[in-house]
A and B are shown apart, each in its own frame.
Chain A
Amino acid sequence: MITANIGTLLARKGKRVMLVDLDLGSSNLHTFLEVSDSQKGLDRFLDKQVDALEKAAVPTAVPNLSFIGSRHCGTEAANLYTAQKQKIIRGLRNLDVDYVLMDLGAGTNFNMLDFFLTDNQGICILTSEPTAIENTFNFIKSVYFRVVKRTLKLSEFNQVTKKMDLSGNRLDQSFLIVNEIAKNDPEIGARLKERLKEFQFKFVVNQVRQKDDPALGTKIEKVCNRHFYSRFTFLGNIRYDEKVHDSIQLRQNFISRYAYTKTANDLSRIARNLLEGDDKEREEKKGAPDPMKEGS
């Protein structure tokens, strides 16, 4: 729901946006976009019916907003072969748009992590519930571990982890792994920190009720920036609204159906924060033209 709405808002701001449903096996993003049932998508790219991912995209009712669905990819699509996954990642990187918003499902399987790591920034959506927060931290730790494994050569990884005293903790559960590596092997530690510093996590707290702590997102941002090496940015809260349920029942995009609600304002503010943050970052990088890729 959030991917479709943020995508719509960015497209309304004149950005060329591509929505990609990568919640393979459980895809449902098409529900909000009013695209035809028979419309094919990612399957055409994987089956080599089209040679570029862009050609698997279909336009939506919103100008500037295109969509690559995956509902025809089959029920076992979640278990992609490595070659297929790499093909999709290459296709995503070659898309000629301003924003690519990937809708990723929950979980920490390799496909999910690798899609998330397609670019140097990603958006995590969580709620104020402890389970959701715990899952978010688990996701960040998994991303870190994935980056560690991808950055180090296998021999380096084995050499480093052999020296480590993890005090009975499982290696993949320790988000302090980078600190441990830096302590034992400063050179490798510095390389990892550099790689992780490039990465930016953005996050949104969804379904915020009145009795929830509105500062939760800011606190999580603070904690993450203190203890992890990447940059964390809280984009904003989205208030709980029964009308979201109504819009899903109607299979319509919330922002189009209920534009004049507080929740719609929240979504607009998040899209604005996203754009402003990216503009600022581009200025810092002095106009680097890389398109941003988002995953949720």
Chain B
Amino acid sequence: MTPKRTYYEILDIAEDASFEDIHRAFREIQSIYEPGSLSTYSLFSTKERTAILTEAEQAYQTLTSREKRDAYDRKLVDDGRLSEKKRFANKTKTPSPVFTTGTPEGNGRVEKTVKEKTAGAAFSKLRQKMQAKPAISGRDLKALRQGAKISLADIFEMSRVSITTLRAIESDNTATLPPSIYLKGFLKSYAECLDLDPAVIVRGYMANISQVS
């Protein structure tokens, strides 16, 4: 017995067709089999045409839903009608990251290294000393960071605050600092990276800025 046609055969597309291809194929079938279509009106009865369109619609609905398509493909693989290699899920590309920092191991490793560097007793002592000050400058932050041998790139990797902004923060250059509403957010992120108390750092830094101004 001839096996039932797959949804891919019904829409006349490849098994790894993109969603755009599926959409295009379905639109074409609609235009070919719609009522009154010149190319088929004399070849099929209304009943036959409706059956073809219903079948195509079903294929379209399944293949344009990622979950349904994945389940359908798995079934085809189980039935031996599709190879595992050709499954759309295996062909889907992950989008390239917008930022590339030359750290192929990923952010997890950076976080782990920074945490190790901030976990020592020496760092803890310096941290307490700095946080006890009523005004915290950018230079204080820089000294703490450099003392722990943490680079600005690591802070960027963890916080996603641009290196330019981080430099401006550490240099206390009020002219290049972002507006205070954003600055507070950036300081909070910076503090979290070095395991500092964000509230204390924000308060101390803003106090220092007002003194400098």
Contacts and interface: CB of A to CB of B under 8 A. Distances in A.
A226 B12 contact: yes
Nearest to A222: B32
Contacts of B64: none
Contacts of A222: 12, 28, 32
A133 B41 CA distance: 9
Contact of A134 (B12, B32, B42): B42
A130 B32 contact: no
B212 interface: no
A227 B41 CA distance: 14
Contacts, number: 30
B32 A219 contact: yes
A80 interface: no
Nearest to A141: B43
A128 B40 contact: no
Contacts of A227: 43
B50 interface: no
B31 interface: yes
Contacts of B40: 223
A227 B39 CA distance: 13
A216 interface: yes
Given A222-B12, A226-B12, A137 B32 contact: no
Among B12, B28, B32, max chain A CB count under 10 A is at B32
16 contacts: A130-B38, A130-B42, A133-B39, A133-B42, A213-B38, A216-B38, A216-B39, A219-B28, A219-B31, A219-B37, A219-B39, A220-B39, A222-B32, A223-B43, A226-B12, A227-B43
A115 to B, nearest CB: 24
B43 A128 contact: no
Interface of B: 12, 28, 31-32, 37-43
Nearest to B43: A137
Q: Interface size class for chain A? A: 10 to 19
Nearest to B39: A219
Contacts of A133: 38-39, 42
Q: Which 3 A-B pairs have the closest CB atoms?
A: A134-B42, A219-B39, A220-B39
A28 B38 CA distance: 30
Nearest to B10: A226
A292 to B, nearest CB: 27
Contacts of B32: 219, 222-223
Nearest to A140: B43
B39 A223 contact: yes
Interface in A49-88: none
Interface string A203-228: 00000000001001001101100110
A91 B32 CA distance: 41
A270 B12 CA distance: 26
A137 B31 contact: no
Interface string A106-133: 0000000000000000000000101001
A155 to B, nearest CB: 26
Nearest to A134: B42
A169 to B, nearest CB: 10
Nearest to A136: B42
Contacts of A223: 32, 39-40, 43
B24 to A, nearest CB: 13
Contacts of A134: 42
Among A175, A213, A219, A222, max chain B CB count under 10 A is at A219
A85 B211 CA distance: 111
A64 to B, nearest CB: 37
Contacts of B37: 219
A226 B32 CA distance: 12
A134 B41 CA distance: 8
Given A219-B28, A219-B32, 5 more contacts: A130-B38, A130-B41, A133-B38, A226-B12, A227-B43
A213 B39 CA distance: 10
A220 B42 CA distance: 12
Given A219-B31, A219-B32, A222-B28, A137 B12 contact: no
A133 B28 CA distance: 19
A128 B41 CA distance: 13
Contacts of A213: 38
Contacts of A128: 38
Contacts of B38: 128, 130, 133, 213, 216, 219
